[in-house]
Chains A and B, each alone.
Chain A
Amino acid sequence: MKPAPFEYVRPRTADEAVAALSEAADAKLLAGGQSLIPLLSMRLAAPSTLIDLNRVEELAYVRVDDGGVRIGALARHAQVERDDAAAARQPLLRQALGLVAHPTIRNRGTVVGSIAHADPAAELPAVLAVLDGTVTTRSASGTREIAAGDFFVGPLECVVRRDELVTEIRVPALGPTSGTAIREVSRRHGDYALVGVAAVVDADDDGGLRSVRAGYFSVADTPVVLDLTDAVDPGPSWDRAAEQAMAALDPIGDIHASADYRRHLIGVLTRRALAAAHSDGRRSDG
């Protein structure tokens, strides 16, 4: 399983990368390569040009400010996972990254790469979606910011154009009264989830819930975010929220799990993720 031949360009700056993209007829961008290189080796992708971003140091950043966390295109999963400031500002990042494949893959793969790859079974696209994050792209014609809700359009398909480089993604800070959690069931440790849920629960002081959002992965062609705020009963009880999610989503069956089992897991994991996010918020105590 060896890749087909390609032209190789190794820019040193983001501008050079963008220029290379606009010049090449049929190019792919290489950052972590953990998803792309198997596709090249299996000859499922055969770009005429490969633009290698691994020297574009200026994009290897994790920047934390009061508003949230900004992750540059070349920041590795492991780098973000280790970043304590990022974990404090938005805990769902570290929670989700711990579930992404295995540490060796995380040493090389990038957060931006995973999001741009738009695998509906992956954790990070769902995290971006449930947090209402944004994606910044740059091309010869300028930059644009794309909301997570507009970003994913199909399996392995996002709205990034052929001549655009995703330079960073941004997730907002966790609110002072919010909690996060992510729960998934996979066949083996480190495998893609059969079903997964990333949850953000925002409680007010009286124990009422201001906002309950759940981002689902492995349930559809893209990550799906459900607002379940009105489906939570006093207790809190998550049963109705779980049922609502099960009714709203229409997962498919494949060789690993039937559609009905996935739907069942949607219910189970909704309860578990919401409960955990709720506890998480109360524990951090504002």
Chain B
Amino acid sequence: MAEPTHAIRLHVNGVAYDLDVPARRLLSDALRHDLELTGTHVGCEHGVCGACTVLLDGEPVRACLTLAVSVDGEEITTVEGLESADGELGPVQQAFKDCHGLQCGFCTPGFLTTITAGLRDNPDPTRDEAREMIAGNLCRCTGYQNIVAAVLRAAELKADTGGSEIAKHAGVSRDMPTASVADGDRGGTP
């Protein structure tokens, strides 16, 4: 006898998806396997590593600690939704590239969503605030130095574009000016 499923609708990166999932289906698995949006990664399934962090109505949550059925009808932003309106890398993504903020890339989506929301709430963080912003995400490769630099760099890039909303689908306004990326010697010291 097959497990009963529930019909739910998830709005992910601005697209509405209708799914039939068992009640126990974790949001992380629904995104990855039911919607094949594999950018959200699973590192621990007990909420500690942060690799699965997505934005739920704009706020970072652990997708591995959320049931898909529990967020029926809500807005979810994943790493796949952080690009700029013109398809270029969003400021946080670009900052990671500029600053060598990723190595294996497995933890990175969780940082990108977390920082996207963090900079929306605090567009001009100090170095200490930048560290605090990422204090709940584990990375095994980078030692975090370049990730902190990427937070500050992303703030710079955002400021360059007039401080407008930095992701298409971060749960807020859709304005997206073309990012004018600063030249190479602008920053991102490791």
* Contact call B66/A5, Cβ cutoff below 8 A: no
Contacting residues, chain A, for B29 (C-beta < 8 A): 2
User: Measured between alpha carbons, how far is A52 from B3 in the docked complex, in Å?
Assistant: 18
Q: Which of A6, A41, A54, A101 contacts B70 (CB 8 A)?
A: A54
* Contact call A108/B23, Cβ cutoff below 8 A: no
* Contact call A33/B67, Cβ cutoff below 8 A: yes
* Contact call B70/A30, Cβ cutoff below 8 A: yes
The size class of the interface chain A forms with chain B is 20 to 34
User: Measured between alpha carbons, how far is A42 from B114 in the docked complex, in Å?
Assistant: 26
Contacting residues, chain A, for B91 (C-beta < 8 A): none
Stretch among B11-19, B53-61, B100-108 lining the A interface:
B53-61
Question: Is there a chain B Cβ closer than 8 Å to A105's Cβ?
Answer: yes
Question: Is there a chain A Cβ closer than 8 Å to B124's Cβ?
Answer: no
Q: Which of B3, B45, B62 contacts A104 (CB 8 A)?
A: B62
* Contact call B67/A30, Cβ cutoff below 8 A: yes
Contacting residues, chain B, for A8 (C-beta < 8 A): 6, 23, 69
A76: nearest chain-B partner, CB-CB:
B59
Min distance, Cβ B64 to any Cβ of chain A, angstroms:
8
User: Measured between alpha carbons, how far is A54 from B73 in the docked complex, in Å?
Assistant: 12
Within 8 A of B (CB), among A1-36: 1-8, 10, 30, 33-34
Contacting residues, chain B, for A265 (C-beta < 8 A): none
Q: Which of B3, B22, B47, B59 lies at the interface centre, i.e. has the most chain A CB atoms within 10 A of its CB?
A: B47
The size class of the interface chain B forms with chain A is 20 to 34
Contacting residues, chain B, for A3 (C-beta < 8 A): 24, 26
* Contact call A37/B66, Cβ cutoff below 8 A: yes
Contacting residues, chain A, for B64 (C-beta < 8 A): 37, 41
B42: nearest chain-A partner, CB-CB:
A1
* Contact call A33/B66, Cβ cutoff below 8 A: yes
Min distance, Cβ A94 to any Cβ of chain B, angstroms:
16
User: Measured between alpha carbons, how far is A70 from B39 in the docked complex, in Å?
Assistant: 40
Question: Is there a chain A Cβ closer than 8 Å to B172's Cβ?
Answer: no
Question: Is there a chain B Cβ closer than 8 Å to A129's Cβ?
Answer: no
User: Measured between alpha carbons, how far is A102 from B70 in the docked complex, in Å?
Assistant: 21
Contacting residues, chain B, for A52 (C-beta < 8 A): 67, 69-70
* Contact call B23/A33, Cβ cutoff below 8 A: no
* Contact call B53/A104, Cβ cutoff below 8 A: yes
* Contact call A104/B23, Cβ cutoff below 8 A: no
* Contact call A108/B62, Cβ cutoff below 8 A: yes
Chain B 21-46 interface mask (CB, 8 Å, partner A; 1/0): 01110100100000000000000011
A33: nearest chain-B partner, CB-CB:
B65
User: Measured between alpha carbons, how far is A6 from B69 in the docked complex, in Å?
Assistant: 12
User: Measured between alpha carbons, how far is A40 from B50 in the docked complex, in Å?
Assistant: 18
* Contact call B59/A107, Cβ cutoff below 8 A: yes
The 26 listed contacts between A and B (C-beta, < 8 Å) are A1-B45, A1-B46, A5-B3, A5-B24, A8-B6, A30-B70, A37-B66, A38-B46, A41-B45, A41-B46, A41-B64, A42-B46, A50-B67, A52-B67, A54-B70, A102-B136, A103-B136, A104-B60, A104-B62, A104-B114, A104-B136, A105-B47, A107-B61, A108-B61, A108-B65, A108-B66
Residue ranges of B at the interface with A (Cβ–Cβ < 8 Å): 3, 6, 22-24, 26, 29, 45-47, 50, 53, 56, 59-62, 64-67, 69-71, 114, 135-136
